[in-house]
Structure formats: structure tokens, C-alpha cells
Amino acid sequence: MVWFALDVPYMPTLHVRGAASAAGSIQAAVRQEFDRIDKGFPVFNVKTLDTRIADSLSNERMVANISGTFGILAVALAAVGIYGVLAYSVSRRTREIGIRMALGSGTGTILAMVAREVGLLVGGGTIAGAGIAVAAVRLLSQVLPPTASIAPSMLAACVGVMLVITILAACVPAIRACRVDPLAALRHE
């Protein structure tokens, strides 16, 4: 088996300091100066420091953008799931809601009934999710030493976002439950 050593050619780097507004003229002046010293000397990959920093962070930005996209997709999926479960539950309980309304229950009672169901579903999921998140961070901090512990403010922000999404997703089924006509509900099924 033959191993070939890769000889990386020496690539000298020249750093030039100047005003940020004069970046184009500095590049032209550097090229002119190299042509004056040695005609045909290859000058390439001329970039400003801001461009070099942006290039060095491009992979991190790509990962952050993909992670953000997946996060938004997960939040949308959670909202659709909560809406679907609640809409199905309200449609299955149409007869019960109609009987309650026929017996004199007001919209406040119906909203409280839907809110109680939402609270049980989301409360259980939030407690389970927070517990899993804390356990996962503890496990990762043992495997990957530089991993920090979970910030309580970040956990509270995630719970808050989920509560807002839950309230928005639960509005349509709750309003639909309040608009059930008792006679139509009794004839239903």
C-alpha cells in the first residue's frame, strides 16, 4: 500500500488595512503594486475582511437556517395536530354539547369544557416534553463536555410559545362548539 503525502503549496497572504469605503480602490492599488514589482505575479482571491468572515461562517449559517426551518415546521405540525385532535373531539361530542346547551349551559360552560380538555392534552405533553428535554440535555452534557445546561428562561420561552400556539389552534374548535344548535345536535347521529 502506498501513501501519498499531500503537499499543500505555500499560499502567502497579504493583509492591507484601509478605510472600509475604499475597499475597491485598495484592491486595485494592491494589484497595481504587484504588477509594478513582478509583472504577471498571480494575485487572486482578493477579499475584504467582512467577506472572509462571512465565508468562514457560511456553514454555521446554513445549519442555523436549516434548524430554524425544521423548528418552524415542528411548530406548524404541532399546531395542526392540536387543531385536528380538538376538532375531532368537538365533532364527536356534538350531541353531548347540544344536550348541555338544551339544558341551559351557556357558551362560557362550553368554552370551559373545551379549555379543560385542551389543558389536559397540552399540560401533559408540556410536562413530558420538558422532562425529556432536561434529561436529554443532562445526557448530552455528560457525552459532550462543552454542552451547557438548559436555561430556565429558554425552557419557559418554549412553553410560552407552545401555549400561544395551543390557544390559537383551539380557538376554531371552541367557537364551533359554542355555535352548536341544540336541535341539530340532538338529531345528529
| pLDDT tens, position by position, 9-26 | 666 777 777 776 777 787
Report the alpha-carbon distance of residue 100 to residue 63 in Å, rounded.
52
Count the alpha carbons within 13 Å of 172 in the hemisphere toward its beta carbon. 13
Element spanning 123, H or E: helix 107-143
3-state SS of the chain: helix, strand, coil percent to 5? 75, 0, 25
Which region holds residue 64: left if phi is over 0, alpha if psi is between -120 and 50, else beta? alpha
What pLDDT digit, counting tens, does each position of 104-162 carry? 888 888 888 888 888 888 888 889 988 898 888 888 777 776 666 777 888 889 889 88
- Which pTM was predicted? 0.66
